[in-house]
């Protein structure tokens, strides 16, 4: 009898040990502001005004990243993700007022995946990281934020005329249930499609920029397909 009880105790302990931790994804968005700093032209973003142009629609691109993140990459994580509806429908999450919330102008450039709030994380973002972790501490071991953003990078140019490429970045940030950072991952990939730069100024119309964004995301997803499992497991080793 004692032997049976001992075996059951060991099995219970092993089962408890082997259970994966649970993580709540609390931020999922992209930004319509294209970074032009590599070209030294960040002030041009206001002139291009892509953020306020309804034709510049990044929602399908965000949808593609969302599908890959939850249906492909999450299966390789060393932790489980809490179902989205349990996160975005939680009243405390809905009522949460994040620090550094976007004003009316800024909100036009942010595209959240449906149901998610824009919640800044990163430098000086501790209030949001701790705040969201506190909301889910009873059901999750941590919270995760992810976003994709885009930047134009120099291609081949002579005398101010030539090509540019788009680079897509994915940021994946994990914090434990106290709001302490576990890891931050930034992966980027450049588009195969190119744009045109004339007189040192890139052509920034939705018709030219969107295909480059789509191409850059496709290349980024290919890279993540190969790397994500190894990167996440190594980064979350102490989680």
- Cα separation, 33 vs 164, in Å, equals 17
Q: What is the pTM of this model?
A: 0.87
Token pair 């249906």 in the structure block, residue: 71
- Cα separation, 185 vs 69, in Å, equals 14
Dig out the tokens for 23 from the structure.
Answer: 């993580």
Instruction: Please state, as a whole number, how many other Cβ atoms lie within 10 Å of the Cβ of residue 80.
Output: 15
- Cα separation, 25 vs 66, in Å, equals 11
Angle at the Cα of 76 from the Cα atoms of 212 and 115, rounded to 5 degrees: 60
Q: Are 41 and 151 in contact (CB under 8 A)?
A: no
Q: Are 104 and 51 in contact (CB under 8 A)?
A: no
Dig out the tokens for 153 from the structure.
Answer: 């990078």
> Could you list the pLDDT tens digit for every one of the 239 residues in the chain?
444 443 433 333 334 334 789 999 999 999 998 998 888 876 665 555 788 888 999 999 999 999 999 999 999 999 999 999 999 999 999 999 999 876 544 567 899 999 999 999 999 999 999 999 999 999 999 999 999 999 999 887 777 688 999 999 999 999 999 999 999 999 999 999 999 888 878 888 999 999 999 999 999 999 999 999 888 888 888 88
Q: Are 207 and 154 in contact (CB under 8 A)?
A: no
Of 132, 172, 128, 116, residue with least CA distance to 148? 172
- Give φ, ψ of 85 to 5 degrees: -65, -30
- Cα separation, 68 vs 111, in Å, equals 17
Q: What is the 3-state secondary structure (H, E, C) of 8-28?
A: HHHHHHHHHHHCCEEEEEEEE
Find residue 196's DSSP bridge partners.
Answer: 163
């Amino acid at each position: 009898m004692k032997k049976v009880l001992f075996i059951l105790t060991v099995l219970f302990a092993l089962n408890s040990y082997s259970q994966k931790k649970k993580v709540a994804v609390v931020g999922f968005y992209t930004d319509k502001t294209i970074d032009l700093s590599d070209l030294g032209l960040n002030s041009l973003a206001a002139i291009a005004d892509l953020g306020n142009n309804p034709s510049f629609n990044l929602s399908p691109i965000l949808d593609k990243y969302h599908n890959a993140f939850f249906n492909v990459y999450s299966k390789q994580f060393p932790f489980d993700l809490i179902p989205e509806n349990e996160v975005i429908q939680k009243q405390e999450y809905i009522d949460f007022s994040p620090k550094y919330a976007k004003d009316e102008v800024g909100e036009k450039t942010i595209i959240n995946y449906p149901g998610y709030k824009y919640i800044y994380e990163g430098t000086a973002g501790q209030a949001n990281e701790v705040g969201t972790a506190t909301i889910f501490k009873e059901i999750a071991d941590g919270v995760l934020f992810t976003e994709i953003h885009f930047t134009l990078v120099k291609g081949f140019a002579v005398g101010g005329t030539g090509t540019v490429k788009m680079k897509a970045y994915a940021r994946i940030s994990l914090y434990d249930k106290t709001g302490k950072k576990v890891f931050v991952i930034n992966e980027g990939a450049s588009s195969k499609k190119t744009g045109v730069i004339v007189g040192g100024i890139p052509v920034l119309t939705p018709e030219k920029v969107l295909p480059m964004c789509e191409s850059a995301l496709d290349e980024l997803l290919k890279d993540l397909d190969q790397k994500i499992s190894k990167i996440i497991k190594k980064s979350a080793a102490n989680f």
